[in-house]
Structure 1
Amino acid sequence: MDKMAARSLSIIVVLLLLVAQASALQQKTVRQFHNNSKADTIRLRTLYELGDYYLLRKHQDRLSDFQNAEKVFFTAYGIADSENVISKYGKYEFQCKLAEVFVLENQPEKAMSLFIQAAKFYHDRKFIAKEANTYLRCVINIWPGSDDYEGMQTLLFKALRIYEELNQPGDIVFTNYWIALTDLHRNRANNYRLTEARCNQMIVKYQHTNALHLDYIYSLLSRINRYRGNLNKSLSYSLKSMQLMNSTKDTTAEEQIFAELAQTYQDLEQTENSIVYYKKTIEIRERKNIPQEYLFRTAGFIAQGLIKLHRPVEALNYIEALEKRHKPDNKAKYAFIEQIKGYCYEALRDYKKAEEAYLGMINDYRKGDDEMWYIAKYDIARFYVLRKQYLKAAAFLNDNTPPSNFSKAKDLEYLLFQVDSSRGRFLSAIRHFRKYKTMNDSVFNLSKSKQVEELQLQYRTSQRETEIKLLTKESQLQRQNVIRAQNARNLTYAGIAVLSLFVGLLYYNYWVKQRNNIVLNQLVLEKDALLQEKEWFIKEIHHRVKNNLQIVMGLLQRQSAYINNEEALKAIRNSEDRMHSIALIHQKLYQSDSPGFIYMPEYIAELVNYLKDSFDLGNRIHFQKDVDDVYLNVSQAVPLGLILNEAITNAIKYAFTDQTYGEVSISFLATTDGCHHLMIKDNGAGLPQGFDSSSINSMGINLMKGLTKQLGGLFKMTYDSGMIVLVKFKVENSGIPENQYNQQEGFVITH
């Protein structure tokens, strides 16, 4: 049992070494791939996805993410193929991704340069669709933070000409949307008409086609009319954009559509509806990892709506939860949070905290953002008016730029009326109040309220018609499902019948097999008994052969007592040793549980011990053994045992004269070419100068050569600080994995 445990332990150790070598090789291969491989699609795709991961993931340290994305895209840019412009992972695609990163890092000039370079490359190579896409991509990324409206429109018109040449309606509509948007922001008051005309032109031309992105156009028309105060038209266009989005299943504009619809409902004072769509907008922006300022502005509208519905605690909890999810990363974004908290504290009548929040908002807002700067000053002025601190309010209303938003402009007139009244400026107060009433009446007169109701009714009716169509389809599907269910039931019954027949056949086959198995088991038992008997006979034969060999050895020993000739005595002694090596094999076969095979480590150890005792060596010669766990069949074990006997006997007799101390090494090891090497080496006197094993006429050497030939192997004797006997052969049925063996022409031993 101890031997088996030792063998198992050695096998485990070898396996662990092989696994370690394989792991080291794999790591080396990975390093070689990273350093030497060409830029292929898999590698570039991995870098592309890694860069996008850094850009899109929700993480507090966004600047670090942008820097990591820049490194990844720069690496991909360096290894991408500049000729591969069609692929998503081409060189100039990565250049555009780098430009997008520079926009996020607030380096628009750098980004613009990279976009224009990429567009020029596509232009020179006649890839005009990619050229147009690059112009449009540049505007979408750079324009929101740029005042260069003319430069942006130059790129947009270049893209538009290409899309018109290629006759791509969806891209034509989308590019016109961006042109109209830049027109609107360049000079809002004077360009409502120009923007509206371009949008209407797109609707007339493409409303009866399958062109995408018309929902953007309708949403932009809604914004224009909302700015003008035409809230009924604004709502009509918003609902139309949402209908179009639902019918085309294209949700790329859903964020903009929901946000515009929410603002329209807010201006119409339909607060519940506005909160619903503002929350949908926030969900989309959180999912898309939109910049924080857009999240916070929308959250402010939700808080204002909840406050209007007398739910200020819910509003404060909502904004605090959003702040935890998205911690502001600069002062301008803290200003948004402070502004919203100011609304909440004011509604909760905690005026001290409200004033602190509003003043913090004013300190943190960027003065360059006219629209937001106006809203910030308006909010704190309104707060002071409600607290009847009119002088403080007036300080924030002086030189305040009128907003483009009609609803905000209306509210500003009423605020100015209150401030002027408190300061005794009655003529100015009356003028502001008249403006307020005129604007208010234009929005909330009875006819327009009815129009709004009609629009909502039309939208709900349209939605109901869609639902009825869906219900009709569902009814038809249900009828079809009933028919399918009936067919399935009939098939099930038929299947059960077939299955029953099949089970019956299986049972019959099982019964037949069981009956056959009883007969077969009886035959197997008889066979096992015969095999045990055969093995017993074989063991008995080996036992008797061993006994007979020992009898012969005993006779030789008796005979040697009557012989005085030294040569004859040596011959008899050698014969005894050879017979013992054979007898030892038969003894092992008799004792083994695997008849026909000899476990070589044990056999070699016992043979060496016998020879040591036979020559009465004591500790004069040390034997060192290194033997693999190999089982040899008897046809190979016998000649190998005789070779061992001859080689070890020669070393004992001739290597160490004059009772000198020495060492004999015995190794029997497997090699990588599927062979085994047997080597017997001593550190004795060795061979005389010019010795040639092929020319000597020695019975021992000739016997070893003949036995090696019987093994089908190669024999060699050489000298290297002692005598070396080498035998190389292929082991048959050894119990170890057998590799392909190619017979070699020669066997070279180097000195």
Structure 2
Amino acid sequence: MADDTASALPDWFPRGVPSLAVSVAGTVAIVASATLLRYALGQPLQSFPTLLFSPAVFLAALLFDRRCGLLAIVLSTASSAYFFVYPYNSLTLPLASLVPLCIFVLTSSFVVTVTDTLRQVAARLDRAERNKSLLLDELAHRTKNDLAIVGSALQLQARSSDDPAVQEALATAVARVNVIAAAQDRLRYREGIGQVDIADYLLGLCTGLGDLLRGVRPIAVRLEAPTMTVSGADAVTIGLIVNELVTNAFKYAFQDNGGGAVDVKIEREGGNLRIHVRDDGIGCADDAVSGMGSRLVRLLAQQRGGVVSRVATETGCHVTATLALEEMPDVRVRP
């Protein structure tokens, strides 16, 4: 499941509003900073006495809330009038000096209103995005649990049967269900796209297959896969193909208690993915009967616009499956 819920807001956007005391103190600090900066600049901004106070009002409304934005307008107007618009020693303001202050108050009030409205809309979108992520996580969790129940039911059915063929068929079905469950377990939802780290996923899959199938035979399962993400649907397809090919290698490539190795290699070429499974067993039999696993691999590859090839090597058998990956938009992963 996702480690954290997705957010519709950028990383720098403030989440929530601080306490009233903190908000007021922050607003005062922002206006005071604008006042000091305006005082330091002096003559160059003589004709624009309220210029630096507009960003201060915007920041107060953005970082805190509408009330702090209005407070910033009051403080900015008073500071501007007292220090820059008219000399300090006068008790009255000429009418001409009130014009820029009135314009500043009107424009700043509009900025505060718009900023607060946008903030509320963004907050609602953020909550909706987080709720969607939670629902997706819950859906994936329930799917994983349902698959686990299906696998357990098949295992119980296999134990209750005395027919070895039935037991083997049910065990194979359980393995395929576990492949899909493993993909769900490693599914990550980012920006609305369900993604799986294929290297991590296949490492767990190959390790589990080796422990399950080798028994007392010294057979190693080795994986070479790049660090990349694929869609959840592609991950299931890749996992099923690897599961079938590795299982077939264990079943047919190594006789008696002989040892060896099964190498799984994943290569990406543009929008295509190539899956290599090599073994150093007895080789590819010319008269091998195409079983359910082999037909499933071909069907999965064909559904993705790919092909499956099988060639004998000097040290065993080499099966290659090529398939086209789903196109996914580039997404920025939050740390």
TM range (shorter): 0.5 to 0.7
Q: RMSD in angstroms over aligned alpha carbons?
A: 3.0
1:705 match: 298
CA distance 1:735–1:609, change in 2 (3 Å): farther
1:517 match: 115
**Cα distance in structure 1, aligned partners of 2:219 and 2:228:** 26
After superposition, what is the alpha-carbon deviation per residue over 1:722-750, rounded to whole angstroms, capped at 9, x for unaligned?
2222122333346889xxxxxxxxxxxxx
1:376 match: none
Say whether the 8 Å CA contact 2:136–2:189 is kept in structure 1: no
After superposition, what is the alpha-carbon deviation per residue over 1:285-344, rounded to whole angstroms, capped at 9, x for unaligned?
xxxxxxxxxxxxxxxxxxxxxxxxxxxxxxxxxxxxxxxxxxxxxxxxxxxxxxxxxxxx
**Cα distance in structure 1, aligned partners of 2:217 and 2:124:** 54
- Alignment map for 1:565-584 (pairs within 5 Å): 565-584=163-182
Report SS of the residue matched to 2:319: strand
* Paired residue type of 2:309: K
1:491 match: none
**Cα distance in structure 1, aligned partners of 2:322 and 2:100:** 61
- Alignment map for 1:544-563 (pairs within 5 Å): 544-563=142-161
- Which residue, 269, 274, 286 being the options, matches 1:689? 286
1:596 aligned onto 2:190: no
Aligned residue pairs, count = 233
Shift of the alpha carbon at 1:648? Answer: 0.8
After superposition, what is the alpha-carbon deviation per residue over 1:441-484, rounded to whole angstroms, capped at 9, x for unaligned?
xxxxxxxxxxxxxxxxxxxxxxxxxxxxxxxxxxxxxxxxxxxx
CA distance 1:502–1:718, change in 2 (3 Å): farther
2:326 match: 732
Say whether the 8 Å CA contact 2:217–2:257 is kept in structure 1: no
**Cα distance in structure 1, aligned partners of 2:323 and 2:274:** 7
CA distance 1:697–1:674, change in 2 (3 Å): closer
**Cα distance in structure 2, aligned partners of 1:712 and 1:599:** 22
- Which residue, 679, 689, 692 being the options, matches 2:276? 679
Shift of the alpha carbon at 1:622? Answer: 1.2
Shift of the alpha carbon at 1:503? Answer: 12
Report SS of the residue matched to 1:667: strand
**Cα distance in structure 2, aligned partners of 1:567 and 1:624:** 29
CA distance 1:601–1:505, change in 2 (3 Å): farther
Report SS of the residue matched to 2:310: strand
CA distance 1:679–1:597, change in 2 (3 Å): same
Say whether the 8 Å CA contact 2:133–2:189 is kept in structure 1: no
Say whether the 8 Å CA contact 2:254–2:281 is kept in structure 1: yes
* Paired residue type of 1:543: H
- Alignment map for 1:255-294 (pairs within 5 Å): none
Say whether the 8 Å CA contact 1:542–1:586 is kept in structure 2: yes
- Alignment map for 1:307-456 (pairs within 5 Å): none
Shift of the alpha carbon at 1:551? Answer: 1.1
Report SS of the residue matched to 1:596: strand
**Cα distance in structure 1, aligned partners of 2:102 and 2:322:** 63
Q: Which runs of 5+ in 1 are unaligned?
A: 1-494, 738-751
After superposition, what is the alpha-carbon deviation per residue over 1:76-97, rounded to whole angstroms, capped at 9, x for unaligned?
xxxxxxxxxxxxxxxxxxxxxx
Of Structure 1 and Structure 2, the greater strand share is in 2
1:637 match: 235
* Paired residue type of 2:172: N
* Paired residue type of 1:635: A
Say whether the 8 Å CA contact 1:715–1:726 is kept in structure 2: yes
**Cα distance in structure 2, aligned partners of 1:686 and 1:506:** 84
**Cα distance in structure 2, aligned partners of 1:555 and 1:569:** 13
* Paired residue type of 1:714: V
1:628 match: 226
**Cα distance in structure 1, aligned partners of 2:144 and 2:251:** 27
1:660 aligned onto 2:258: yes
Report SS of the residue matched to 2:161: coil
After superposition, what is the alpha-carbon deviation per residue over 1:508-549, rounded to whole angstroms, capped at 9, x for unaligned?
666534422211221221221122122112111111111111
Say whether the 8 Å CA contact 1:631–1:734 is kept in structure 2: no
**Cα distance in structure 1, aligned partners of 2:181 and 2:128:** 27
After superposition, what is the alpha-carbon deviation per residue over 1:590-628, rounded to whole angstroms, capped at 9, x for unaligned?
xx4646111011110111121122225356111221101
Say whether the 8 Å CA contact 2:217–2:258 is kept in structure 1: no
* Paired residue type of 1:708: A
2:312 match: 719
2:88 match: none
**Cα distance in structure 2, aligned partners of 1:504 and 1:636:** 62
2:140 match: 542
* Paired residue type of 2:129: L
Shift of the alpha carbon at 1:710? Answer: 2.1
Report SS of the residue matched to 1:537: helix
Percent identical among aligned pairs is: 25
**Cα distance in structure 2, aligned partners of 1:503 and 1:716:** 79
- Alignment map for 1:73-472 (pairs within 5 Å): none
Say whether the 8 Å CA contact 1:668–1:679 is kept in structure 2: yes
CA distance 1:571–1:505, change in 2 (3 Å): farther
Say whether the 8 Å CA contact 2:218–2:259 is kept in structure 1: yes
**Cα distance in structure 2, aligned partners of 1:548 and 1:601:** 25
TM-score normalised by structure 1 residue count: 0.29
Shift of the alpha carbon at 1:716? Answer: 1.8
Of Structure 1 and Structure 2, the greater helix share is in 1
Q: Which has the higher contact order (CA 8 A, sep 6+)?
A: 2
Say whether the 8 Å CA contact 1:630–1:736 is kept in structure 2: no
Shift of the alpha carbon at 1:706? Answer: 1.1
Say whether the 8 Å CA contact 2:210–2:221 is kept in structure 1: no
